[in-house]
Amino acid sequence: MWSTAMTAASAAGTAGVTGGAFRRRLRDPRPAIGMWVATGNPYNAEICAGGGLDWLLIDGEHAPNDVRSFLAQLQAVAPYPVAPVVRPPTDDPVIIKQLLDIGAENLLLPMVESAEQAAAIVAATRYPPAGIRGVGSAFARVSRWTRVEGYLHRADDEICVMVQIESAAGLAECAAIAAVDGVDGVFFGPADLAASLGHLGRPDHPDVVEAITSAVAVVNAAGKAAGVNAFAEPLARRYLSLGVRFILVGADVTLLARGSEELAARYRDVAEKSHSTPPPISGSATL
């Protein structure tokens, strides 16, 4: 039974490298529930991959990742039926090219503020003549080193491009960004958005929530998938009720931080009691 389950999971993971599975999932009305992987560690990524979530965001903007650590994490989660999404630190087409070649089929690009920027991102993920992606599939994990038949001709249809709006300037261009051909999803980052709107540290501020609510409607009307980050469960459920189709509801680093704090707090009274009443000294007083 274990062997059968692992074989099925492995097949799903392998297909996910070149199959466009997450791109298709974004067209599904069922929301995809995910979490951040921000430790930069493939062991942690694999633990999270087996948790039953739909997708993982392997972060490179605020987490200590580079191309090699992205590769290790993609390899670690490949046997599991979960979609890995990679967020590079910038929209540099060179970095995008490297990530695509190592098998990062699903990309989330941060800090997008115009339709022109979104179109340039899409072009960086497409082979000529549709875009500017360099052709190096013979050296690439994504094509299994040319073992995936027809990869060059299928790739453009399988790559999932999501762009992140997280500023007032981006919000103002939301409709134009969502209308860009090749943009599959528009994701809203409440933390940076709150700062841009004058509410630093308050992603749950009513102004921020209202701005995201309105923007989600714009994205949905454009026929694209809207996504958002929302760790507070009531807020996450509110966004889901608005038709958000992909959402991040937690992170490996926050689970570890809050879990370790809770564990320490559970036993703090024991430590304090032991400190206030030291144990008697054993042995003879005449030593």
Between CA 252 and CA 159, with CA 49 as vertex, the angle to 5 degrees is: 105
- How far apart, in whole angstroms, are the C-alpha atoms of residue 162 and residue 159? 10
- How far apart are alpha carbons 99 and 191 in whole angstroms? 25
Alpha helix (H) residue ranges in 33-159? 42-49, 67-77, 93-101, 115-124, 151-158
| CA distance linking residue 84 with residue 226, whole number of Å | 18
d(CA 222, CA 50): 34
Contact 113, 169 (CB under 8 A): yes
Strands (E), the chain: 32-37, 55-59, 83-87, 106-109, 160-165, 185-188, 225-229, 246-251
Going by C-beta distance under 8 Å and a sequence separation of 6 or more, which residues neighbour residue 272?
none
Q: Are 17 and 105 in contact (CB under 8 A)?
A: yes
Q: Is 275 a catalytic residue?
A: no
Residues acting as catalytic residues = 62
